[in-house]
Structure 1
């Protein structure tokens, strides 16, 4: 199946009161696992390549080519997205490579600067029929807008979307990146207020730290795109550790990487089905 536009997946999910899973690619095995998950669940998925992933691979083009090829060859409906690009030039390169969407993350910038740079990325992306996700925040540090205590203001969010023309907005509602325990408490009332104030789909980052029940409640409150990375990485790494512990003589990396790939496929399919619940189904 050919690549799917991110904007189409978001519009369909929003109309159905559901969310689409957006899962991070770290390497080829991750991309393959996520495509398998989407096929097994018979649900769409967004494969995300972050700026950190680009740095790990030493460049965007090799991991982008592999991920786009996996997506294009899958039976599932898959979009490919650039996640958390703080460098606008990286976002522009991803647009040229055929990504369905890019996230320019200017959340650490002052509001006016964030608007100006985001608008530049939006103009280039829209000329190529590519969607843009952005993020708001005022506190610096690793988590930016998702540092503890930071919250997105609905009025500021509405102004930001109007001024930039972005197609989706990542909001700070209580989650935080890189959490290994699912103990984050997201603000459902704030999500509802943001949904009413902002005319574009809302995105939750740092979803690995949020429980299943709260994720479903957040989707019902207005979340449309749910990003997950660390939680799936734990599944992969745990399976690799188990495979190596079970066979100390194992040296063929394909065998233990296959175990990790399958673990991601199983958990990602479960999450896709969870995010597809609507109304009172869950």
Structure 2
């Protein structure tokens, strides 16, 4: 099936009052697992490649982007391709022509004024190419290379009035907000600020994005979608499933040297995790 656009999937979900899940791709097995999980769930999904993943592949975007796009195009599920947490302007511009319909431009570490300036430039660039742009306001924290961030610390969460001004000044198509989740959580123990989500939904005229959803329990995700969250980002949960399956296989079969023997169970475990999150999105409608 041809790639669909992220904007199309997110807009449809927002109109229906439901969520759409976006899953991070690191290896080809991740892309295959996301496609398989989406097919099993009978649901659309977004495959996203982060700047950290591109760095893992030697800083070269083309190969992993082409493999991910090809996997999506050969799937029967409705899938979109998104470039996630882009800090480098060079990588932002590399998205054009690689199959990406959307980019998350991350200037959240800059001052508010510098964030607005850089993000507005990214949005203008995206508009000229039909590329949907997501940005972040507040600090979700937990990304590789960052010091630990308390998701409940004062000043970390997104202020609704500032968010409304930020969207008006930048023209972004979607906004990732800090409401109590954190990246790279391996246990699902996060507690979200649902009244804040409701206030942000009222204040902000574009779809809201929840980063760090791997650490958020099912009931919290359901409530977040009901309160106004639309794009639900999942990454670490796939890696947790993959690593546990690979570790289990190699523990039981310590003399195995053929990577297909253990990558297969890892891929299947990720596909099951994808299906579970997509089923949760349906239950949250």
TM-score, normalised to structure 1, is 0.95
The residue that corresponds to 2:132 in the other structure is 131
Matches of 1:50 and 1:34 in 2, distance apart? 15
- SS of 1:97 mapped into structure 2: coil
The residue that corresponds to 1:163 in the other structure is 169
The residue that corresponds to 1:224 in the other structure is 230
RMSD of the alignment, in Å?
1.7
User: How many aligned positions are there?
Assistant: 279
TM-score, normalised to structure 2, is 0.94
Matches of 2:85 and 2:97 in 1, distance apart? 17
The question of whether the paired residues in 2 share the 8 Å contact of 1:110 and 1:138 is answered with no
Matches of 1:61 and 1:27 in 2, distance apart? 13
The residue that corresponds to 1:16 in the other structure is 16
The question of whether the paired residues in 1 share the 8 Å contact of 2:10 and 2:231 is answered with yes
Output aligned runs, 1:32-47, within 5 Å. Answer: 32-47=32-47
Are 2:242 and 1:242 equivalent residues in the alignment?
A: no
Please report how far the alpha carbon of residue 255 of structure 1 lies from its aligned counterpart in structure 2 after TM superposition.
1.3
The residue that corresponds to 2:266 in the other structure is 260
Per mean C-alpha deviation after superposition, the further-off stretch among 261-270 and 135-144 is 135-144
The question of whether the paired residues in 1 share the 8 Å contact of 2:139 and 2:178 is answered with no
Output aligned runs, 1:101-112, within 5 Å. Answer: 101-112=102-113
Are 2:234 and 1:233 equivalent residues in the alignment?
A: no
The residue that corresponds to 1:57 in the other structure is 57
- SS of 1:30 mapped into structure 2: helix
Please report how far the alpha carbon of residue 95 of structure 1 lies from its aligned counterpart in structure 2 after TM superposition.
2.6
Are 2:143 and 1:142 equivalent residues in the alignment?
A: no
The question of whether the paired residues in 2 share the 8 Å contact of 1:92 and 1:121 is answered with no
Please report how far the alpha carbon of residue 146 of structure 1 lies from its aligned counterpart in structure 2 after TM superposition.
7.7
Encode CA deviations 1:182-212: one digit per residue, 9 max, x unaligned.
1111100000000000011100001111101
